[in-house]
Structure 1
Amino acid sequence: MKKLLALLLCLVMVLGLGTTAFAADAKSNDIVILHTDDVHCGVTDGMGYAGVAAYKAEMLKTHNYVALVDCGDAIQGGTVGTLSGGSYLVDIMNEVGYDFATFGNHEYDYKIPQLVKLSKQAKFEYLACNFKYLGTGTTELNYKPYEIVDYGGTKVAYVGISTPETFAKSTPAYFQDENGNYIYSFCEDDDGSALYKTVQETVDAARKAGAKYVVALAHLGNEGITEKWTSKAVIANTTGIDAVLDGHDHETISTKVSNKEGKEVVLAEAGQEGGRLATLGKLTIAADGTITSELISAKDYTAKDETVAAYVNNIIASFQDSVSKVVAKSTVS
């Protein structure tokens, strides 16, 4: 009898291990890349950062490989950004679990020294292939042109691209030395070729380093944007990019654009149709190589990550206390 019980116990254990292994294997190996852009301090707008965190957590339950990226203009546009010089926003993005971000033109609104601090504070990596320091020595700004992530043997390169419109849409003096000479460049020129060349060189370098797929995190836009610097122009004048996740013009889009060789490139932007964080972008690279884009509406997805929600609310409460403090009273009427 004891031998029979021991045999049954072993059988149960083996079956249990098999079930556990099957459950682990049941998760998809598709690569999911969630993307936001132009949040402009709208930390609780739309689905809010708590909703973004909840959706990411939901994807991680069913997928082995999930990334979260931002395509610029996250840290400016509201009191929470102004009072902290963008610091609160970086803290929140750290809490949500961002992996990469690119610089939008408004990331520079707090001046370069502050952006240096923010880039060091970020637990995610800032990427920008066309933002160049022209001064002597080196810049302390912490960023890379691209980064490669290995998802179970499939390497995906993320390439950052910032708009050359930044000089005009931020403050030109922030990019100059004391003599008024520009010490930074966004690869701006008369016909866009400098930008295309830099992007192409970066994509080629990423491919040479082993990337199977290249995803651009761009703050370029298309509507109302200088034509030569639009994301569509960059796609049309380059090869090797599989998808462009965009920002800057606040448009909400999911489409395909032909590159220099006539191959289709996915172009997607969460944008602000319906407001900030009204939409979360979702790019999927399937195991068979198919790349698809989807837009998740805040109207359809209402779940919240309670930990992130509490974190955001604590920050809001802290700066609201600061704003409401009485500095001085006057008897003059």
Structure 2
Amino acid sequence: MATSDVHGNLLPHDYFHDHETEKSGLAGLATLIEQARLPGVPCLLVDNGDFLQGTPLAEVVHDRLRANPATDNAIISAMNAMGYDAASLGNHEFDWGLDYVLDAAKQARFPLLAANAFRKDGAGRARVLTEGSKIVTRRFDMGDGNGIDLRIGLLGLTPFQTAQWDARQVGEAVTTTDMVVAARRVVPQLREAGADIVIALAHTGVETAADATGDENVGAALARLDGLDALVLGHTHVPFPDPAHPTAPGICPRFGTIHGKPAVNPGAEGTYLGLIDLALAPRGNRWEIVGHDTRLVPVAETLSREGLEPSREIAELLDQTHRKTLAHIRRPIGRSEVPINTFFSRVVPDAAMQLVNAAQARTLAEALAGTDHADRPILSAASPFKSGGRGGSGDFVNIPPGPLALRHAADLYPYPNRICAIEITGRQLRNWLERSASVFARIEPGRRKQSLLDTRFPSYFYDVFAGIDYQFDLSQPARFSPFGNCIAPKACRLRNLRHAGRPVADDQRFVLATNSYRLGGGGYFDEPARAPLLFESTATASQIIAAYFSENSPLTLHVTPNWGFAAIPGASATFTTAAPAASSLPRPGLRALKHDDQGFLLCEIELDGTAPG
């Protein structure tokens, strides 16, 4: 039994929108797990990482521990109660620093595994951060009073970019290495130590694209390793097996195998329970896999169909944390006179991105006042994290006019990134914008209803800029692949880049507000790491946004149409957004087409210059 990418979703409450939800997180999973534990049938329960971060509840847990290190970590307490046998470390485990990970490892009654994550000691020597692997034993009753032990080797793997992405949080104390190389080293060690079967808890997805150089998703490469019998995957939030999963040679989304080996990715936020059933046959004093079945159990649907409720034990255990979280998210921070949503954040200029960029820019202006950089023009870049795509039709920000609470700031910016100031040149700015522009598909002149977005790119690979004016010409090819590889060096989508009404020169210098994730190369952006760091906030981005809301209440703003698409004669494109967006359409250059079977609203944008921007 496997879970992954729970991201602090423990109870059937949506803390971003403050209402009960059918997504019941760990509490719902606990009910199904208890049912699946049949008497006399050996089983394992494992998690594949990214469990410590992701919701306001997880933030409250962190803040309480920071204030009082003797406090129990409520997330770990829930996992202890559920009887996890092991968990791997995901990249988001490190979002609040190394000490938080080590404290979680101390409180957990199960090992936190990461065979490719190392900690440097005082002499600079590297040792495994927590534990790299573990052998657990299950006994089979043979019915004659005797039994045979099954020794199961488990190894954990975290993305090799983790130390880079979270460099601002962990510094140089943590290093992470290639997942495949680490597995190639550890799997034989587990076999030599007596493991009958070996299972990888690999916080990685399945690489299906031809261009996967530098990709954090290496599930297929891991499946090719001799001695590895099964894989629990994650990270991408893309369920497997699932007929909708992308295919490639050796990958079977229908039967849940990768190069013939059973594999499961339970999606995210406790939506699915992943199951791998292994049929085993004794061979002397050892076991051999003779068959397998891999499947996903949809939690909400199964609970409803069978008349079951989320675990009361988990709900009671977390009751105090739940109440503290509700008090936290409901704290008033102001009022907005305008709607704030991300329905069209990747398509046209909007209030949501403008507000985030304004909060970031204001923070930099205050921090750099009186310094040598105070007179430099300040730009800002922000991502529309919740704008559909992989997150599904409900993964949008939708804040109506009216009172604002802390939960609204967390909804706009759900990650504990810090805001950073870097100095960049006009040339670097152009490269950054070209990387961002690569999220769009290429559009042919004269064709109608072409796909606007390249779905291989998640929403956080796209940055919206403030402080400059620019356009993207989508009739040109993308310069970069999803993994940041330059596939068309001469391609140029950027048009009419201007600052204060004048063309931006390559040697012109700016101060740019970005975040700590980008500084670590997150989203495969190279330019941030090359730029001098001028400032890094101690507050998180959501705290900075909340302060901006409070100081500028009531929020009233006119959206500045500073970016858009260059005109392509006779062309239009389609994109999906949230169903409630229909109430704001039609508008110039945008119209709704239909609702699809996944809950999205399909829309069309005119690319002949009539759309805003």
- 2 CA distance for matches of 1:319 and 1:265? 42
* 1:146–1:157 Cα contact (<8 Å) kept: yes
Cα deviation, residue 294, structure 1: 1.4
1:116 is aligned to 102
2:315 is aligned to 309
Change over 3 Å in CA distance of 1:296–1:326 after alignment to 2: closer
- Find the residue that maps to 2:61 and give its secondary structure: coil
2:150 is aligned to 154
1:185 is aligned to 175
- 2 CA distance for matches of 1:199 and 1:219? 13
1:179 is aligned to none
2:449 is aligned to none
Per-residue CA deviation, residues 291-329 of structure 1 (Å, 9 max, x unaligned), is 3211101243213322122223442113323555799xx
Cα deviation, residue 43, structure 1: 1.3
- 2 CA distance for matches of 1:62 and 1:111? 41
Amino acid across the alignment from 2:294: S
Per-residue CA deviation, residues 89-120 of structure 1 (Å, 9 max, x unaligned), is 11221222222111100000110012111110
* 1:128–1:161 Cα contact (<8 Å) kept: yes
Q: Work out which of the two has the higher radius of gyration on C-alpha atoms and give 1 or 2.
A: 2
Change over 3 Å in CA distance of 1:97–1:228 after alignment to 2: closer
1:211 is aligned to 195
Change over 3 Å in CA distance of 1:119–1:142 after alignment to 2: farther
1:43 is aligned to 10
Change over 3 Å in CA distance of 1:141–1:321 after alignment to 2: farther
Is residue 91 of structure 1 aligned with residue 77 of structure 2? yes
Which of 260, 266, 273 aligns to 1:270? It is 266
Change over 3 Å in CA distance of 1:63–1:312 after alignment to 2: farther
Amino acid across the alignment from 2:38: K
Equivalent residue runs for 1:192-231 within 5 Å: 195-222=179-206, 226-227=214-215, 229-231=217-219
Amino acid across the alignment from 2:221: A
Cα deviation, residue 139, structure 1: 8.4
Amino acid across the alignment from 1:215: I
Is residue 246 of structure 1 aligned with residue 227 of structure 2? no
Is residue 233 of structure 1 aligned with residue 221 of structure 2? yes
* 2:180–2:218 Cα contact (<8 Å) kept: no
Change over 3 Å in CA distance of 1:51–1:326 after alignment to 2: closer
- 1 CA distance for matches of 2:174 and 2:332? 41
- Aligned residues with identical type, % of pairs: 22
Change over 3 Å in CA distance of 1:253–1:326 after alignment to 2: closer
Unaligned runs of 5+ in 1: 1-33, 177-181, 189-194, 259-263
- 1 CA distance for matches of 2:181 and 2:104? 29
Amino acid across the alignment from 1:277: G
Change over 3 Å in CA distance of 1:48–1:235 after alignment to 2: same
- 2 CA distance for matches of 1:241 and 1:218? 12
Amino acid across the alignment from 1:54: T
Is residue 281 of structure 1 aligned with residue 258 of structure 2? no
Which of 120, 123, 132 aligns to 1:145? It is 132
* 2:60–2:324 Cα contact (<8 Å) kept: no
Change over 3 Å in CA distance of 1:57–1:78 after alignment to 2: same
- 1 CA distance for matches of 2:298 and 2:264? 14
TM-score of the pair, normalised by structure 2? 0.42
Q: Which runs of 4+ in 1 moved over 6 A?
A: 138-142
- 2 CA distance for matches of 1:139 and 1:186? 10
- 2 CA distance for matches of 1:65 and 1:318? 38
Amino acid across the alignment from 2:197: Y
* 1:119–1:141 Cα contact (<8 Å) kept: no
* 1:50–1:309 Cα contact (<8 Å) kept: yes
Amino acid across the alignment from 1:317: R
Change over 3 Å in CA distance of 1:284–1:63 after alignment to 2: farther
1:107 is aligned to 93
- 2 CA distance for matches of 1:222 and 1:131? 21
Amino acid across the alignment from 1:292: D
Q: How many residues align?
A: 277
* 1:256–1:265 Cα contact (<8 Å) kept: yes
- 2 CA distance for matches of 1:147 and 1:140? 16
Amino acid across the alignment from 2:318: V
* 1:71–1:101 Cα contact (<8 Å) kept: yes
1:16 is aligned to none
- Find the residue that maps to 2:112 and give its secondary structure: strand
Amino acid across the alignment from 2:102: V
Cα deviation, residue 229, structure 1: 4.8
Amino acid across the alignment from 1:241: L
1:64 is aligned to 41
TM-score of the pair, normalised by structure 1? 0.75
What is the root-mean-square deviation in Å for CA atoms of aligned residues? 2.8
